[in-house]
């Protein structure tokens, strides 16, 4: 067995695999478990750590059959991931259900995610919602957030329930869940299942921003820039763009790069422009990759010098991701340095991507 799978198996038995979160206070404690079941679990755990998987799994199964919730949870995780044992969704569901009946918190999450997946045989979105609602009703904000998203989904005969989704999203947001606050703000901003209210959206974006949700910072920047839900203030917009960019928002990085490049609302600062555009490009934004390539290819208002090596590097990165314009420009650069084979390769790919100028070039 590969070392990586052995390591994952050990993680699983330590309760670290496939969990949304883990809190000892919310799980079934050993004191609530039959002493024999607890001993079987400890022995099985130790055997698996020693790579004695068959014996370890057998003891975990015995512990689970005697009502040991964590043993059932670990077995379910192993069967779901196909570690140590053959992957078996049916057995994973069986053991998750056993753990759920014993009140094991993380089993509720894992079972719901498994049952709500379109790739799970005999999936059951209605059951997934029921499983999560048990702990959502108990005030678990992660469960409330997950339940809100499960209510948005539809699968087979289970329709989406936007009203209930909004209800649980509000609960999670009011309880301080950052991502729920961001989603709620977005619904008010777009007027989804609720009357549009930019002011209410602004309030919830602010709350999410306080929890360092990057896209909340970005949306606050947009709102300040446009004067939507708040007084227009370009200086504050730039502050929010910068904080969003530092938190990893690719949208903010690209917008900020463009602003520093063009001097829109800020002094033109080419180094800052390149810094933020490079961050976005390195995060995978093909738009930023293409923009950087063109800036280096032609220079920019005597502020950024022509750099054909960097231009080709960024055209190549975007071209490899299927950007037809980058493929075309790369073909031209290669043709100019007499690399006819490389030029034709990228030119043909640009044609396949629907680039009209490339089609004329290689008629």
Q: Each residue of 286-335: pLDDT tens digit?
A: 999 999 999 999 998 878 899 999 999 999 999 999 999 999 999 999 99
Q: Each residue of 156-172: pLDDT tens digit?
A: 989 999 999 999 999 99
Q: What is the pLDDT of residue 12?
A: 52
- What is the reported pTM? 0.82
HEC per residue, the chain: CCHHHHHHHHHHHCCCCCCCCCCHHHCCCHHHCCHHHHHHHHHHHHHHHCCCHHHHHHHHHHHHHCCCHHHHHHHHHHHHHCCCCCCCHHHHHHHHHHHHHCCCHHHHHHHHHHHCCCCCCCCCHHHHHHHHHHHHCCCCHHHHHHHHHHHHCCECCECCCHHHHHHHHHHHHHCCCHHHHHHHHHHHHHCCCCCCCHHHHHHHHHHHHCCCCHHHHHHHHHHHHHCCCCCCCHHHHHHHHHHHHHCCCHHHHHHHHHHHHHCCCCCCCHHHHHHHHHHHHHCCCHHHHHHHHHHHHHCECCCECCCHHHHHHHHHHHHHCCCHHHHHHHHHHHHHCCCHHHHHHHHHHHHHCCCHHHHHHCC
Model confidence at 5: pLDDT above 60: no
Which CATH fold would you assign to the domain 179-283?
1.25.40
Q: Each residue of 16-75: pLDDT tens digit?
A: 444 434 443 345 444 466 899 999 999 999 998 898 999 999 999 999 999 999 999 999
Domain spanning 1-115: which superfamily? Tetratricopeptide repeat domain (1.25.40.10)
Q: Each residue of 80-93: pLDDT tens digit?
A: 999 889 999 999 99
């Amino acid at each position: 067995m590969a070392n990586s799978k052995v390591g994952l198996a050990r993680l699983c038995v330590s309760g670290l695999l496939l969990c949304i979160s883990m809190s000892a206070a919310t799980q079934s404690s050993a004191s609530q478990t039959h002493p024999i079941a607890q001993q079987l679990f400890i022995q099985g755990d130790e055997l698996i750590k020693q790579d004695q998987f068959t014996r370890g799994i057998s003891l975990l199964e015995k512990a689970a059959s005697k009502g040991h919730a964590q043993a059932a949870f670990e077995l379910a995780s192993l069967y779901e991931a196909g570690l140590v044992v053959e992957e078996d969704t049916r057995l994973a569901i069986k053991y998750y259900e056993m753990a759920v009946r014993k009140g094991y918190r993380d089993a509720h999450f894992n079972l719901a995610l498994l049952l709500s997946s379109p790739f799970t045989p005999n999936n059951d979105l209605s059951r997934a919602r029921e499983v999560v609602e048990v702990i959502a009703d108990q005030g678990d904000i992660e469960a409330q957030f997950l339940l809100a998203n499960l209510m948005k989904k539809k699968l087979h005969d289970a329709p989406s329930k936007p009203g209930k989704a909004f209800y649980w999203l509000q609960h999670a947001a009011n309880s301080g869940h950052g991502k729920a606050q961001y989603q709620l703000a977005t619904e008010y901003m777009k007027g989804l299942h609720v009357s549009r209210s930019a002011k209410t959206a602004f309030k919830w974006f602010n709350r999410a921003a306080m929890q360092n949700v990057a896209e909340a910072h970005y949306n606050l920047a947009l709102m300040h820039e446009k004067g939507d839900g708040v007084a227009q203030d370009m200086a504050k917009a730039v502050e929010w763009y910068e904080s969003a960019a530092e938190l990893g928002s690719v949208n903010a990085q690209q917008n900020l790069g463009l602003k520093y490049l063009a001097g829109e609302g800020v002094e033109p600062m080419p180094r800052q422009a390149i810094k933020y555009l490079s961050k976005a490009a390195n995060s995978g934004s093909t738009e930023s990759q293409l923009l950087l390539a063109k800036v280096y290819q032609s220079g920019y208002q005597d502020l950024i010098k022509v750099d054909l090596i960097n231009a080709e590097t960024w055209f190549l990165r975007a071209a490899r991701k299927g950007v037809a314009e980058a493929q075309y420009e790369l073909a031209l650069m290669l043709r100019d340095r007499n690399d006819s084979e490389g030029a034709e390769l990228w030119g043909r790919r640009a044609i396949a991507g629907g680039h009209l100028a490339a089609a004329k070039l290689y008629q």
